[in-house]
């Protein structure tokens, strides 16, 4: 980018730099490259912008056709920095591009009107925030979104083999440094807070739990018959839906085996798997590999005819997909938060989720959804059957969950809390 970014007319006290190298908030969602973190930052920055904050969101330039700067809201921007090739780079290769990203950050910012606070996202954004916070002596807020040691332990527990050891060691060392250097850590759930404390010795008083949210205007109930007509789905089928990235830790394999067990007991069963850049010329290599693995599994389990891989669907189209479903399943082995559960709650479809991470907070077993033991296909099958046979239970949990998201998970509430954190850190830094 040749020009300096110039927002000098803006109130210096309300200028924030966010760092999210691998997750462009304006990217299309639903592949390896982009998911919950992207939508979290997009939603949060949009709300903070309404409260008068000018947020510059620095991300890695990962596609040649993208603009170097895109405007967001009235006064915020997404700024794309050169750092490595202008294409998708797997996260374990990002370390190689940090220095270039940071020097390009320094090249584009307005040094006369610097930022009053840095907000890092994930460990790659945390790396940049550490550098900026040191150089400019400003506070630093961190959101991990996911933590390396849990990811590592989950893989070790279920897969036994562990081929990422060197990368995970590097990542967790950086995560420890981020914990030390940050002024405050925003955790998406109590589970994550406890994990940061027990595994990384993060001081509890440094961690504030603020969950993710859902756009209640976008995710609303659409009449099931109408939605099915639009998507050309048989009105008599029992539809189970999955939405999310195609990644081993999402547990789609467990769902496929549960479907095999369920098939003889539920006629007209149909499963929709939404997510993954798996079709067309733009397909993502890792998504496609996982899709091939899962497709093979559907063949082995004898359910290929009833499991349909829909590929990545635009976020704006998703309310229609949620609305066709009888049951929404989140079968993850590890899930730091799981925005999709809230989207399903808001769309008023019953949710079954595995008892892991943030899902244990958003879904109260028997009240706002059903929980099952991660990787236990029999348990999952039984929970689906429970909802299939009891309309009353399905209606009860769906209604409770809808009330719960309306009350606790709007982006307005979440942005209010983060607005307060920014203000108090900035004031403290001035004293
Ligand atoms: N998503 C989407 N299209 C897809 C698949 C997923 O828009 O084809 C969105 C989904 O609606 C959700 C996000 O990607 O907002 C996934 O977030 P989540 O927290 O569930 O998972 P993560 O990506 O953080 O692992």
Identify whether 382 is part of a domain: yes
C-alpha of residue 236 to centroid of ligand 1, in Å: 27
Residues 187 and 267 in one domain: no
Task: Determine the average pLDDT of the residues in 47-54.
Answer: 97
**Are 50 and 150 contained in the same domain?**
yes
Asked if the model's pLDDT at residue 8 lies above 80, the reply is no
Q: Which atom of ligand 1 is nearest to the CA of 335?
A: 25
CATH label of the domain that carries residue 182: 3.40.50.2000
Cα–ligand 1 centroid distance for 406 (angstroms)? 20
Residue 66 covered by a domain = yes
Percentage of the chain exceeding pLDDT 70: 96
- Who's near 332: CB < 8 A, 6+ residues apart? 244, 249, 250, 251, 338, 353, 354, 356, 357, 359, 374
- CA 48–ligand 1 middle distance (angstroms): 22
Determine the distance separating the centroid of ligand 1 and the alpha carbon of 110, expressed in angstroms.
Answer: 34
Which pLDDT score is estimated for 31? 80
Question: pTM to 2 decimals?
Answer: 0.94
Is 218 within the bounds of a domain? no
Q: Is residue 142 part of a domain?
A: yes
Note the pLDDT of residue 2.
39
Whether 196 and 277 map to the same domain: the answer is no
The residue segments making up the domain with residue 129 are: 12-213+410-430
Ligand 1 mean position, distance from CA 308 (Å) = 18
Q: Identify the residues whose C-beta falls under 6 Å from ligand 1.
A: 29-30, 35-37, 39, 243-245, 274-275, 312-313, 315, 318, 337-340, 343
Is residue 419 in some structural domain?
Answer: yes
Tell whether 128 and 149 lie within a shared domain.
yes
Smallest CA separation from ligand 1 atom 23, residue: 35
What total of structural domains would you count in the chain?
2
Pair (186, 134) in one structural domain: yes
288 and 362 belong to one structural domain: yes
Tens-place pLDDT, residues 321-336:
999 999 999 999 999 9
Q: Are residues 290 and 417 in the same domain?
A: no
149 and 94, same domain (yes or no): yes
Model confidence pLDDT, tens digit, residues 189-230: 999 999 999 999 999 999 999 999 999 999 999 999 999 999
pLDDT score at 45? 98
pLDDT tens-place string over residues 96-150: 999 999 999 999 998 888 899 999 999 999 999 999 999 999 999 999 999 999 9
HEC sequence for the chain: CCCCCCCCCCCHHHEEEEECCCCCCCCCCCECCECHHHHHHHHHHHHHHHCCCEEEEEEECCCCCCCCEEEECCCEEEEEECCCCCCCCCHHHHHHHHHHHHHHHHHHCCCCCCCCEEEEEHHHHHHHHHHHHHHHCCCEEEECCCCHHHHHHHHHHHHCCCCCHHHHHHHHHHHHHHHHHCCEEEECCHHHHHHHHHHHCCCHHHEEECCCCECCCCCCCCCHHHHHHHCCCCCCCEEEEEECCCCHHHCHHHHHHHHHHHCCCCCCEEEEEECCCCCCCCCCHHHHHHHHHHHHHHHHCCCHHHEEEEECCCHHHHHHHHHHCCEEEECCCCCCCCHHHHHHHHCCCEEEEECCCCHHHHCCECCCEEEECCCCHHHHHHHHHHHHHCHHHHHHHHHHHHHHHHHHCEHHHHHHHHHHHHHHHHHHHHC
Distance, in Å, from the CA atom of 58 to the CA atom of 120, rounded to the nearest integer, reads 10
User: Ligand 1 pocket: which of 340, 344, 358, 409 to mutate (most atoms <8 Å of CB)?
Assistant: 340
Q: Is residue 219 part of a domain?
A: no
Rg (CA), the chain: 22
Nearest to 105 by CA among 4, 248, 221: 4
Q: Residue 359 Cα, ligand 1 centroid: separation in angstroms?
A: 14
**4 assigned to some structural domain:** no
Give percent of the chain with pLDDT exceeding 90. Answer: 86
Ligand 1 geometric centre to CA of 357 (Å) = 16
CB atoms within 10 A of CB 56: 24
Residue 3 lies in a domain: no
268 plus 209 within the same structural domain: no
| Residue located nearest, by CA, to atom 1 of ligand 1 | 30
Output the residue whose Cα is nearest ligand 1's atom 7: 315
139, 249: one domain: no
Q: Which long-range contacts (CB under 8 A, 24 or more apart) does 360-363 make?
A: 360/189, 360/191, 361/189, 361/190, 361/191, 361/211, 362/211, 362/337, 362/338, 362/409, 363/401
Considering the domain architecture, whether residues 384 and 422 belong to the same structural domain is answered as no
Question: Do 52 and 167 belong to one domain?
Answer: yes
């Amino acid at each position: 980018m040749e020009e300096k970014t110039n927002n000098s007319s803006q109130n210096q006290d309300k200028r924030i730099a966010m760092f999210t190298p691998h997750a462009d908030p304006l990217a299309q969602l639903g592949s390896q490259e982009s998911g919950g973190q992207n939508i979290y930052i997009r939603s949060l920055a949009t709300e903070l912008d309404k409260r008068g904050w000018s947020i510059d969101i620095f991300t890695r330039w990962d596609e040649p056709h993208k603009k170097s700067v895109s405007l967001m809201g009235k006064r915020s921007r997404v700024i794309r920095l050169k750092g490595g090739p202008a294409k998708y780079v797997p996260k374990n290769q990002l370390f190689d591009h940090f220095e270039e990203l940071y020097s390009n950050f320094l090249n584009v910012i307005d040094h006369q009107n610097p930022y009053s606070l840095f907000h890092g996202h994930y460990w790659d954004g945390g790396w940049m925030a550490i550098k900026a916070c040191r150089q400019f002596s400003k506070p630093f807020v961190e959101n991990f979104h996911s933590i390396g040691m849990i990811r590592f332990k989950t893989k070790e527990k279920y897969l036994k083999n562990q081929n990422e050891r060197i990368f995970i060691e590097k990542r967790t060392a950086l995560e420890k440094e981020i914990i030390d250097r940050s002024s405050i850590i925003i955790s998406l759930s109590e589970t994550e807070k406890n994990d940061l404390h027990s595994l990384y010795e993060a001081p509890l008083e440094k961690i504030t739990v603020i969950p993710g949210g859902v756009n209640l205007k976008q995710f609303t109930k659409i009449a099931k018959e109408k939605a099915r007509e639009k998507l050309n789905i048989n009105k008599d089928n029992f539809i189970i839906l999955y939405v999310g990235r195609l990644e081993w830790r999402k547990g789609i394999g467990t769902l496929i085996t549960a479907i095999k067990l369920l098939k003889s007991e539920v006629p007209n069963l149909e499963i929709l798997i939404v997510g993954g850049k798996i079709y067309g010329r733009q397909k993502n290599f890792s998504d496609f590999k996982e899709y091939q693995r899962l497709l093979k599994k559907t063949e082995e389990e004898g359910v290929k005819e009833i499991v349909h891989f829909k590929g990545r669907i635009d976020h704006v189209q998703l309310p229609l997909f949620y609305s066709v479903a009888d049951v929404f399943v989140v079968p993850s082995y590890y899930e730091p938060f799981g925005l999709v559960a809230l989207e399903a709650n808001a769309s008023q479809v019953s949710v079954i989720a595995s008892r892991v991470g943030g899902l244990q907070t958003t879904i109260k077993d028997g009240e706002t959804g059903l929980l099952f033991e991660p990787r236990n296909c029999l348990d999952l099958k039984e929970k689906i059957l429970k909802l299939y046979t009891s309309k009353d239970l399905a209606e009860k949990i769906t209604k409770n969950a809808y009330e719960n998201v309306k009350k606790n998970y709007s982006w307005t509430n979440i942005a209010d809390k983060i607005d307060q954190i920014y203000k108090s850190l900035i004031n403290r830094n001035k004293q």
